């Protein structure tokens, strides 16, 4: 069972000797990369593996996973002593370079050093970003020989998460859907001191600064059904407060307008972020980690994709909507929410086609092997 803050307890027994996994993660400007790598690290540790998470900024772990996780050590890769100690120690069995973050040359050279006869074959994995685009199936699992630098002579393997059986799948810890089915929404809301009236629609908001945010808030305020918007800390809260600035309804804790009530949330652990998604009738998510958790939650969702200067995110979002089988209104909402066009937002749907589409997608995904299982198979040479 997962602990209070989302760390799965290691199994009592195992049939294989544990391996040392080194996962390298560089925080860019949001929490998604770290969120993915922490979930990966804790799921490996739950299987009895030893994991070092090399991170250049672990600040977010203070609230994301405040109690840490048995079997996972966090290493500051900007600390010279940490690199010196790692170079003097035995190299890891598996090196995961998350999202092209380029580990220190000294660590690559140590990893490329002589290997003891009969030991496990070392594996260098390039963990890529999540996408539903067709190239993911073509490139997943391909070797990439290294011809220069400290890793010369080694071979990386590309590992692409994805939504189809021909990809690396998605992170999904054992028993996730069973825990989801046992979740008590009213109890969790009360534990978080979130007021909830009978018949009030619950919507979570985890976003950047979407162009259509004002239109959403105005739509919810004018709706016939009351809505409580649960706003996550950080950029989402700043954006909502900016909308309410200067209005009489704004205050330091809760604010609202018409049929809309707003609760501002503290930073949540990964476990409580899942609980937030499970508690809501519809979820607004952003980036990669929360998209996956939103799919496992099974409620209708709207994804704000991370914007790219060359508009490559337009193609990426379109590919995901195609995979999802999004009905026209959900597709139109995504286009307007992400600023692809200036069309008005369709009404939110918590039942009907939006709900049925996400539930069907979850069923397809659950029938596939999870990411950690596929990753271990790749490392063991079974795929």
Q: Which residues are catalytic?
A: 33, 288
d(CA 219, CA 282): 15
Three-state DSSP class for 216?
helix
b/e per residue 294-327 (b: at least 16 CB within 10 A): bbbbbbbbbbbbeeeeeeebbebbbbbbebbebb
173 touches 47 (CB < 8 A)? no
Rg (CA), the chain: 22
- How far the first Cα of the chain sits from its last, in Å, is 29
Half-sphere exposure of 278 (CA within 13 A, CB side): 21
Beta strands in the chain (DSSP E): 20-25, 50-55, 72-76, 94-98, 123-127, 143-145, 155-159, 201-205, 227-231, 254-257, 260-264, 282-286, 301-304
Tokens of 1: 């069972």
Residue 37 has a CB neighbour count (10 Å cut-off) of 25
Classify strands 254-257 and 260-264 as parallel, antiparallel or unpaired: antiparallel
From residue 217, give the alpha-carbon distance in Å to each of 7, 44, 282.
Answer: 35, 41, 14
């Amino acid at each position: 069972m997962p602990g209070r803050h989302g760390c799965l307890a290691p199994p009592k027994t195992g049939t294989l000797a544990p391996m040392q996994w080194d996962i390298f993660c560089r925080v860019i400007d949001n929490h998604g990369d770290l969120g993915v790598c922490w979930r990966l690290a804790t799921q490996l540790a739950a299987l009895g593996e030893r994991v070092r998470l090399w991170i250049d900024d672990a600040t977010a772990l203070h609230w994301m996973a405040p109690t840490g996780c048995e079997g996972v050590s966090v290493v500051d890769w900007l600390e010279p002593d940490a690199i010196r100690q790692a170079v003097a120690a035995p190299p890891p069995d598996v090196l995961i370079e998350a999202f092209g973050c380029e580990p220190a040359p000294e660590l690559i050279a140590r990893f490329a050093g002589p290997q003891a006869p009969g030991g496990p074959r070392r594996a260098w994995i390039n963990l890529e970003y999540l996408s539903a685009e067709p190239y993911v199936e073509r490139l997943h699992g391909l070797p990439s020989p290294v011809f220069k630098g400290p890793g010369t002579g080694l071979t990386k393997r590309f590992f692409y998460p994805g939504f189809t059986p021909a990809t690396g799948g998605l992170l999904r810890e054992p028993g996730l859907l069973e825990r989801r089915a046992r979740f008590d929404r009213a109890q969790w809301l009360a534990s978080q001191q979130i007021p909830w009236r009978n018949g009030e629609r619950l919507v979570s908001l985890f976003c950047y600064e979407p162009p259509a945010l004002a239109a959403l808030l105005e739509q919810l305020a004018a709706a016939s059904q009351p809505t409580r918007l649960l706003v996550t800390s950080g950029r989402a809260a700043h954006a909502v407060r900016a909308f309410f600035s200067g209005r009489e309804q704004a205050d330091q804790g809760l604010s609202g307008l018409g049929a809309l009530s707003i609760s501002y949330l503290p930073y949540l652990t990964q476990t409580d972020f899942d609980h937030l998604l499970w508690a809501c009738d519809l979820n607004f998510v952003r980036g990669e980690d929360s998209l996956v958790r939103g799919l496992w939650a099974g409620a209708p969702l709207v994804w704000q994709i991370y914007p790219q200067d060359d508009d490559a995110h337009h193609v990426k979002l379109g590919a995901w909507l195609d995979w999802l089988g999004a009905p026209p209104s959900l597709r139109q909402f995504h286009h307007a929410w992400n600023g692809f066009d200036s069309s008005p937002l369709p009404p939110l749907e918590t039942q009907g086609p939006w709900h049925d589409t996400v539930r069907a997608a979850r069923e397809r995904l659950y029938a596939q092997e999870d990411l950690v299982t596929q990753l271990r198979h790749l490392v063991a040479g079974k795929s």
